[in-house]
Structure 1
Amino acid sequence: MKKLLGLFILLGMAAGLSAQITVTGKVTDADGIPVIGANIIETGSAERGTLNGTISDIDGMYTISVPTDASLEFSFTGMANYTTAVDGRTVINVTMTEQTALIDEVVVTALGFKARKDRSGSTSSSVGADAIRSSGEAGILNSLAGKASGVKIVRANGDPGAGTNIQIRGANTIGGSTQPLVIVDGVPISNDNLYGSGSSRSGGVSQQSRLNDLNPEDVESVQVLKGASAAALWGSRAANGVLVITTKQGKLNQGMRVSFSSTYSVDEINRRHPLQTAFGQGTGGSYSPTSANSWGDKIANRTGGADAVRNTGEYFLADNGDVIYPITTKNSQDIFVDDNFDAVFQTGHYIDNNLTITGGGGKTTNYFSLGYLTQDGIVRNSDYQRATVRFNNQTFFTDKVVLTTKANYIYSDGNRIQQNSNTAGLYLGLLRTPPDFDNSSYRGTYFNASGVAFPDRQRSYRRYLGNNINPTYNNPLWTTNEQEATTTVNRFNVSSNLNITPVEWLQFDLRGGVDSYLDKRVYFAPIGSASFNNGRLDTEDLSNTELNFDAIARVEFPDLVADKIGFNGTLGFNINDRQRKVLYAATQTFLVNSDLQNFNNGVAPFEVSNSKNHIRSNRLYGILSFDLYDQLFLNLSGTQEAASTIQGTYFYPSADLAWQFLPSGNGLLSFGKLRASWGQVGVQPTAYRFGTTYETFTYSTYDDALDINEFGGGFRLNDDQGNPDLKPEIKTEWEIGTDLRLFKNRFSLGLTYYQNEIKDILLAVSLSPSSGYLSKYANSGRMQNKGLELDFGFKILENKSYGLDLYGNFNNNRNEVLDLAGVDRVPLTDQSITSNAIVGQPLGILFGSRAARNDDGSLALDVNGFPILDPEQGIIGDPNPDWRGGLGLRAYFKNLSFNILFETYQGGDFAERTRFVLTSFGTYATVGNEVTLDRDLVNSQGVTFPAGTTVRGNIHNYGAGDVLLDESWYTSLGGGLGGSAINEFSINDGSWTRLREVSLAYLFRGDKLKSFTGMQSLELSITGRNLAVWTDILGIDPEVNQSGVDNGFGIEYFTNPSSRSWVASVKLNF
């Protein structure tokens, strides 16, 4: 009887288990077009142990086996979720509707977990994959420009792979990096931008930001965490904010999907310095073939024809066959401004090909991608290549154990061109070249009067016969063709996260990651190069490795007390280890002139160094989150951190509060939330600052018997005193704000006011010479920021077939340096105009030579009516803007989409040092004028020019009547180099408005496309980047920065130009 009863029980269980039916159907949108890739999930299946789901195919069709009493949930990005009970039906067709707004948007937290934005008391901005891809940028950072309030993104210049400076809510430190921490899939990675060999803050090449190693095609979203409360879990690494990047992955129960995209760009210089073409090389109105300036004779007044030369004695035989003899009389009227320009600039382009393969079964998902980018820059022989491989896998061992692994390999290389304050720089040699000098025959053999040959000489406009090994300035063709600054990077990063959910309310995450790269750099200048007349070879190997491990426990009780109180908690522990090693070697003298880049050709002494930087840190962190009546949300967090660069431990607390005073509504206001947050974050000291170290040296500063090199070298005590009492810089920030949605969620508005103060800023403090040291690294500065941020979106039109969206952002930031440990000024850059930290002023204030002024602020003038030089340098400008903003418009009509984005920067000063110096050299267009005087005028030397005289120059009134600005003015106080000129006159309003991006795309899809091509969809798009810039600045995009990725900004000095681009793209989905 018992056996019979057991049999009936088993049969009953089998009958229950077999009560399955197969459901089929079609998923379409409101227009009846099939929805490809919609997720169909049996609700509650995960709790039974196996997630049961599928996706719709190219025709929108799906098939799934489920119990007769099951429910199905249909979801797709950009559309409202739909759930329906099966009730025994075998055919269920579903029409999905678009979401009218991003209601309760999901964001990514500092730890990489998803959270509901409407429950957060701190603010952040999110940029999705479509916005990144449609930007047409080859790097992630530049694709974010103009898309988020409070985020300043500035590309150093238009060189391929050039570094990008990103700053969130102003500068948050003085001497260190202001770049945010970058988290990719929950693990920190490097975004270094190291100058290294062949470069510096004032001259050299523009190095790359390491974040640009990532392939934008692999990125799902970028979350910008702006406030201290949102980033506090990262402790002393979060003062500059955090970028949280999530990469793509496959989907469960998705068949293999293959996508291929190819992008081609056409890049041009976006602004060109205007140069004069009327006057030749020389001074005082007379031609001189060796003069530095172009204040010579009027070219149109020459006789024309060939120059008169002396064809006996010395001469130059160029490699291209041209023979150049000494000029005795300049007859030619030929102008070479455009030819010289075209010889070094070109139409650049890049080709970016990407292949992705995604898919998943019932327990695994996979994402695989290959990317290859090759770019030729707008400067000839500048290039950049990047190859990437990524594999992301997610394995559901059970519904309670999930392993996610993501691995990425990147190879990149490139050649960069010298720039800035650098006699080997491209623009310095090109723009100073007189309009009547032809740069084309730049290399060859010089023969002296005795017939002795000097091969491989450089011919520049200062040394037009190549008769000196020092060309003074490089011929720009020598810079582009003979010198090299190459870099080769191999990078690998991998992260893995094991998620264990033993019970519904408890989860454990074990997460580890490693990010490692080797950057091999070579800088080569052959014999005869400016700056390095005897040649130079630098090699530098920079290796960087970061290891990271987290153990995290999370509990979640959404209905802790009768559906009225919910609670979430997180407890985690982090171990982080960062190492950087630099191996450097250089020689500045070659035995023979050769293109062979080998130290065997070098002459001792060699420069050799080997440095190491190693930082370890541990963090214990926790979060307590409370949900009261599904309306009031409180988050409390704290981080206790210990690091090898500080003594003891430091605690970083934070709190944020959100009140949904209107969770939903049908009137004018659809949603309303008030929020407030407070938090502390920090900046770690640099390594090895506790004790006073020794350093090597090889020679004394005098040629005497004390030359230590005679005794095999030696060591000396560093003049920077160690400090065992170092502690991290602490930034304390609070913010308040509101998030509103109106008109049935069609209009969204986010408004935030924030204020922060950074204390114990780390600076090198000067010491009394009697101490035996020059300086001491100490916590000694204080600074603050305050500002307003606004983000909005408005769905003006919304229909099944068409739509129109307006979106934008606004922010202003007010920065002030409050204390510098007793000193008034700390320079951040060098050169004639410097960026500075000055007490009572915003960081980056411009300082340099200035005009003397009267008590009422007017210019003090000499007896001729000209300004005079103030003997004391002072503040001459503020590059910080009054405000920044972005305004965009998105439109779609069926499968056609359009997007346009404008960005503006209003109120900051800009130092046009290139223009200012070129007026002294006589090559800038503004000094190519001729005027016929209608009255007597005096120049700066007191010389009177009578009415009726035609002179070269300009007329200006400084306050005491019109005066003549001619060569005497422009080559003294009104132009020129160094502090002997009034550099204040190079400062102008740096405001700009630009067409940041505009794109047009069309998506082909449907049965006909599939039947003819086998493709699910085909997308064609064209994008324009930086197509127009409206500004008062001449000749250069005021967005460029002489200092590259640095705290100093608003200064340009022979900086390589930016570019504008047209980008065409095709994407095939199979």
Structure 2
Amino acid sequence: MRKIVTSLLLAMCVTIAVNAQVLSISGRVTDEKGAPIPSASVTIKGKPNAGIAADAQGNYKISASKGDVLVISSVSFATREVTVGTNTTVNVSLAPDASLSEVVVTAMGIKRSEKAIGYAVSKVEPGTLLQKSEPNILNNLAGKVPGVDIRAGQGAPGAATRMQIRGVSSFNGGEPLIIVDGVPYSNNLVNTTSPFSGGGTYGSGLNNIDPNDIESMNVLKGAAAASLYGSRAANGVLLITTKSGAPKKGAKSLNVTYRAGYSIEKISDVPEFQNSYGAGANFRTQSSNGSWGAKFGKGVIYDASGNVIGTSASGIDSIPATTWATMFASYPELFPNGRLAYKPYPNNVSSLFNTGHLLENSVGLNGGEGNTTFSATLSRVDQKGYITNSSYTKNNISVGGQTSVGNLTFGANISYARSKQIGGFIGQAQSFISQWGRTYTMARNWDIVGWPSEDRAGRQIGFNDGQYTNPVWGAYHNVITSIDDRIVANVRASYKFSKRARVDFNGGVNNYALYRDQIIDKSSLGSADNLLGTLTEVVNRTQEINAKIVAVFNPKIFENFTLDVNIGSEVNERTSRNQQVYGVDFVIPGLFNLTNTRRQTFSGDTRSKRRLVGVFGDASLGYKNFAFLNITSRMDLTSTLPYKNARYFYPGVSGSLVWSDAFGLKSNWLDYGKLRAGYARVGNDAGPHNGQPIFGLNAAGFLGQPLATRGGSSYDPNLTPEFTTELEIGSDMRFFKGRLGLELTWYDKRSTDLIYSIGLPQTTGYSSFFTNLGEIRNTGWEAALDIKPVILKNFQWDVRAIFTRNINTVERLIPGLTRDIIGGFNYIEAGFPYGYLRGSFSARTDDGQLLINPSSGMPFLDPNPGMVGNPNADYKIGITNNFNFKGIELSILWDMTKGGDFYSETISSMLGRGVTKDTEDREKNRVITGVYGNPTPVPGPNGLNRYTPMLVGGKTVPNQTRVTTNDLFFTQGTGASFATNGAFEYAVFDGTIYRLREITLGYSLPKRWVSKLKLSNVTISLSGRNLWYLAPNVPKYTNFDPDINSVVGAGTQGVETGGAPSTKRYGLNLNVTF
């Protein structure tokens, strides 16, 4: 018996000892997508002192016994408990905490709980900017942020991108204010020549920002969100914070990240050309830039007049070599029999475009020790364009960090960026912005790639016998080279007097310099100067200094109440200088400098300096963490307005109610519900010298006496600030423990006293007059829907859909002004959308039937032009699907734009020249649907002349006059066809488009693999951009992309005048963390 008892006691002791054995537990803490959660807390339940923090890659190691409960937590994630068993590897995935309110960076860098914000703020995850084969951060925002419209330029690597938030709020366009580490940036486009008369595809300021260096990005959309930033915030704010390092608290750390990407780029599509007919008209061959000539493949010989004079022995049609007289005169040996083959060249357009290449490399370091952090990033972009001799290189280096000593925290960031863009493709010809656009209308029998592009003296041989600049030659002879240098430095400090009071200071300087050479070589077409050769040299320097100081208080007041107060002052100074010299007629061919030109003109040396001083206040009152009221105010003093109107004040108020907390409505299906509302006013001053006269100096003067002459602009002495007043109401809700989320916002934004220049009659002695011109209203809806349809152990599917609808109307113009042109074909007029397209259209009956000229069979041209299109889209939708399976992540972005009319010179010219399959069926005559009109217009009820229907027996007469297909699209006489020489309305199309914008497939290698290489993380991804699009409302075979923009300035929209084609891109990316 004693032995039995002894044995039982021994077994119990062994069992207890085994159960009490301490195990070494290790694993990784990740989010639902498999991404590491740095510094996650891992503790043992009931033993608060037995805890550790995960490293930067989410890895942890802790000692625990079987049966202990591990408690894993992290900010913004739901806490999870795991019981220790026999397995010593415990990997944990944390779900977002739907009940938590994340911290959001708002105006002036003020951080607030998401609960306390009474207006819409969109947060952009920095990770979405990388692994996308796109170095431009604005292009990466397309289709992802509600209320934001992105328009990218084409034609050259590094082309400018336009950003708009909640529509156009100013007659001068309306780019949002961009703040990087508290320092304002400008995304202005510096044009050297008019974009409508041979301009270029230039870059813009925001291209200099390195996406690898971005820590956070927020879009402040409404006036209530942005009003503290003052005058330039009327159009919204893009708020960017760069990296400064983030080690574990109290520990040493150093992380090194290397990212590399390689992409190829091809044109998205070319039109489906017809290859049945060549150059000529009415089925006869001739030298012309169109394909209405004889049909190919007849096996005949044509003379210069298009007559058949014989049969071809080879079976290939031929025309006289003199049809291409410049080529024949330069290289007669290429035409031994004096003949030129008359046959189609199916790839004569696509062969002009190459495969572009994009190479990206970056190295980033971040870490620190204790309260000191640092970050450094070095990156380079090398891009070779899809158009010959176009390229873009960019180098970025940035360093940042901060440290704390007692109650003082201070930090600094400095960055340098240098880029070089080669391209531009100037050389205007017949309203086309680029020499490349005209090639789309090239006759189907021209093969400019297969023939010499210059004569023996180096002069170009234009295609179509010299009507247009040869793009093969122009790629090397008509070139824009732009070099950008930008240095940005920022210092900041914060001193904490107590837990409830501190003072923050932020100061920075942004220096930017642009150096540009724009060359048009001898023998270029488009103007008399172009034939001689021109050189334009530009130097543009800008500097912006910004400093602000803010006192922050959060005093303890009544029980259940919180109060946060910010009182501050800001000073902003901007200086600029632009110098431009124009030289004409090169002496020595191929030597492109001003001293090699016979005539130079100093075409500009403009300087400006402006200063803005503001004081502001912000107070936020909270009650029981579910009700919040925020009041803001700012007063500015500007140097750009008349002194009596230079000081202006604007207030704002916003509030939010978390009704799910206030009324205790949280349940198994409802996580969170908030109502928010905001109302604010934002002021905006004028540009420099828009409120005072400018004098130009003439040193040579008259008879040796220097002169000063007043400029051609006159100014309103009572000029007042612009004001934007906005009301927005919204709701944020989350359901089913974070599985469903909805954000909804309605806004009404009115911009009044808008400053603009209008033209004056010459008899006034001035050419323009700056005044407060009118008022614009934008109303709209924004929505964002987040769904997690599937959440499994190893698989998750996330969907984010955004919706944007903005309705824009010019509400008022000053008395006496009916309308004004703001650029290209865009107009402003009370009661019409901003920038509406105005031009000619065909005459119609009251019920919309075309009025046909009985003699020609073509429509009459209405003598009164009017609105023919609205370039503002009806609405936009973007849908992103993310799939995550065991380290494999697939992301697909689809977006669409409904409406948004655009004028296209390219489509109209392709139809008019008969080069696409849309016009291939041409062997029969047509009858245009309509009724006959009286040939003489008569006054209408409104006093304006108009055409009326021809009546026979009191009834209209249907058209029966036949026309050729050639005349249908290209005939003599303004307004007489449906394309070339036709009414303006036939060159305006609906811009509805569906686009597969982005696909990314990434794979993060398992930890057990990369740890053997002493690495923390390795991610490989494939990406594709703009892989497919459908534009259902443009002519079928043109394959035209409505997103092509000749001009990306916000003041001009919906205008395409021969821009380069859009592209698709395929990339491979690698991300390695050491």
Task: Give TM class, smaller chain.
Answer: 0.7 to 0.9
CA distance in 2 between partners of 1:713 and 1:982 (Å):
51
Matches within 5 A, 1:382-397: 382-397=390-405
Q: Aligned partners of 1:92 and 1:609: how far apart in 2? A: 71
Instruction: Report the Cα offset of residue 723 of structure 1.
Output: 2.9
2:524 to 525, 529, 541: 529
Q: In 2, are the aligned partners of 1:910 and 1:988 still within 8 Å (CA)?
A: yes
Residues 393 and 308 (structure 1 numbering): CA distance in 2 closer, same or farther, change over 3 Å?
Answer: same
Residue number in structure 1 paired with 2:995: 994
Among 877, 888, 892, which residue is 1:885 paired with? 877
> What does residue range 83-482 of structure 1 map to in structure 2 within 5 Å?
95=92, 97-99=94-96, 101=98, 103-157=100-154, 159-174=156-171, 176-197=172-193, 199-201=194-196, 203-252=198-247, 253-289=251-287, 291-301=288-298, 302=300, 303=312, 304-305=315-316, 307=318, 316=327, 323-324=333-334, 330=340, 332-342=341-351, 344-398=352-406, 400-418=407-425, 422=429, 425-440=434-449, 455-463=457-465, 471-482=466-477
Q: Which residue of 2 aligns with 1:826?
A: 820
Question: d(CA) in 2 for partners of 1:729 and 1:935?
Answer: 54
* 2:931 and 2:959 in contact (8 A); partners too: no
SS at match of 2:511: strand
- Structure 1 residue 842, shift from structure 2 partner: 0.7
Q: Distance in 2 between matches of 1:59 and 1:792?
A: 29
Aligned to 1:839, which of 824, 830, 842?
830
Q: CA deviation at 1:971?
A: 2.1
Higher mean Cα deviation, 1043-1052 or 100-109? Answer: 100-109
1:390-424 deviations in whole A, cap 9, x for unaligned? Answer: 111111223x2111211111010011232695468
Given the alignment of the two structures, is residue 1055 of structure 1 paired with residue 1065 of structure 2, yes or no? no
Aligned residues: 979
Whether the aligned pair in 1 keeps the contact of 2:931 and 2:958 (CA below 8 Å) is no
Distance 1:300 1:393, change over 3 A: same
- The Cα of 1:724 is off from its aligned counterpart by 3.0
Q: Distance in 2 between matches of 1:202 and 1:781?
A: 29
CA apart distance, 1:282: 2.6
2:156–2:423 CA contact under 8 A, matched in 1: yes
Tell me the residue number matched to 1:749.
742
Is the alpha carbon distance of 1:846 and 1:786 closer, same or farther for their aligned partners in structure 2, counting shifts above 3 Å?
same
Question: Is the 8 Å Cα contact of residues 236 and 728 (structure 1) preserved in structure 2?
Answer: no
CA distance in structure 2 between the partners assigned to 1:959 and 1:905 by the alignment: 38
SS of the counterpart of 2:212? helix
Deviation readout 1:678-725 (Å, 9 max, x if unpaired): 0111332111133333336899xxxxxxxx999899553323213332
- What whole-Å deviation, never above 9, does each CA across 1:548-602 have from its counterpart, x for those lacking one? 1011111124x5222x11000001110111111111111121123x221111211
CA distance in 2, matches of 1:1059, 1:975: 35
- How much does 1:836 deviate? 1.3
Secondary structure of the residue aligned to 1:899 is strand
Equivalent residues of 2:162, 2:1048 under 8 A apart: yes
Query: Is the 1:40–1:73 contact (alpha carbons within 8 Å) kept by the matching residues of 2?
Result: no
User: In 2, are the aligned partners of 1:163 and 1:1045 still within 8 Å (CA)?
Assistant: no
Task: Percent identity, please.
Answer: 26
Q: Which residue of 2 aligns with 1:726?
A: 719
> Which residue pairs with 2:583 in the alignment?
587
Letter in 2 for 1:653: P
* Selected match of 1:624 from 605, 619, 623: 619
**Which segments of 5 or more consecutive residues in structure 1 lack a partner in the other structure?**
1-22, 44-51, 65-71, 85-90, 447-453, 464-470, 700-707, 943-957
Q: Render the CA deviation track for 1:450-507: whole Å, top value 9, x for unaligned.
A: xxxx7112112233xxxxxxx4310111221222101111111111110111211112
* Secondary structure at 1:523 match in 2: strand
CA deviation map 1:884-930 (0-9, x unaligned):
11112111112111111111111222223212123333334323333
Partners of 2:811 and 2:830 within 8 A in 1: yes
- TM-superposed CA distance for 1:58, in Å, is 6.1
TM-score (normalised: structure 1):
0.85
User: Corresponding residue for 2:791?
Assistant: 798
d(CA) in 2 for partners of 1:1049 and 1:508? 45
Mapped pair 1:860 → 2:874: no
Shift in CA distance, 337/458, structure 1 to aligned 2, threshold 3 Å:
farther
Give the distance between the partners of 1:766 and 1:312, measured in 2 at CA.
46
Contact 2:320–2:339 (Cα < 8 Å) also in 1: yes
Contact 2:34 2:887 in 1 (8 A): no
Q: Which letter does structure 2 place at the counterpart of 1:1030?
A: L
Equivalent position SS for 1:457: coil
Q: CA RMSD in A?
A: 3.6
Taking the aligned partners of 1:223 and 1:938, their CA distance within structure 2 comes to 54
What residue identity is the alignment partner of 1:500?
Y
**Counterpart of 1:1020 in structure 2: which amino acid?**
I
How many Å separate the matches in 1 of 2:34 and 2:144? 32
Structure-2 separation of matches of 1:937 and 1:754: 44
Answer whether contact 1:311 1:326 (CA < 8 A) is retained. no
| 1:526–1:535 contact (8 Å) kept in structure 2 | yes
Q: Is residue 1030 of structure 1 aligned with residue 1030 of structure 2?
A: yes
CA contact (8 A) 1:39 1:74 kept: no
Please state whether the residue corresponding to 2:772 is helix, strand or coil. strand
What CA deviation, in whole Å up to 9, does each residue of 1:59-97 have, x standing for no partner? 823699xxxxxxx9976587446899xxxxxx9999562
Q: Mind listing any 5+ residue stretches in structure 2 that lack a counterpart?
A: 1-22, 44-50, 64-69, 83-87, 301-311, 935-956
Distance 2:227 2:324 in 1: 75
1:651 maps to what in 2? Answer: 649
Distance 1:274-1:479 versus aligned 2 partners, 3 A rule: farther
Query: Does 1:929 pair with 2:921?
Result: yes
How many Å separate the matches in 2 of 1:668 and 1:145?
Answer: 32
**Separation of aligned partners in 2, 1:203 and 1:32:** 52
Find the aligned partners of 1:929 and 1:75 in 2 and give their Cα distance: 70
Cα–Cα, structure 1 residues 963 and 829, in superposed 2: closer, same or farther, change >3 Å?
A: farther
The residue that corresponds to 1:848 in the other structure is 839
1:900 is matched with 892
Superposition TM-score, scaled by structure 2 size = 0.85
**CA distance 1:337–1:123, change in 2 (3 Å):** same
Distance 1:117 1:965 in 2: 66
* Rounded Cα–Cα distance in structure 2 between residues aligned with 1:576 and 1:1014: 48
Q: Secondary structure at the match of 1:773?
A: coil
CA change 1:560–1:266 in 2 (3 A) is same
Q: Which amino acid aligns with 1:612?
A: R
Which residue of 2 is the match for residue 491 of structure 1?
Answer: 486
Alignment partner, residue 592 of structure 2: 597
Q: Is the 8 A contact 1:937 1:962 kept in 2?
A: no
SS of 1:662 mapped into structure 2: helix
Q: Deviation per CA, 1:789-839, whole angstroms, max 9, x where unpaired?
A: 111101112233221111111121111101121322211223xxx111121
Give the conservation status (yes or no) of the 8 Å contact 1:204–1:422: no
Query: Aligned AA for 1:188?
Result: P
CA contact (8 A) 1:314 1:325 kept: no
Deviation, 1:524, is 0.8
2:94 match: secondary structure: coil
Q: 1:588 to 1:92 in 2, by over 3 A?
A: same
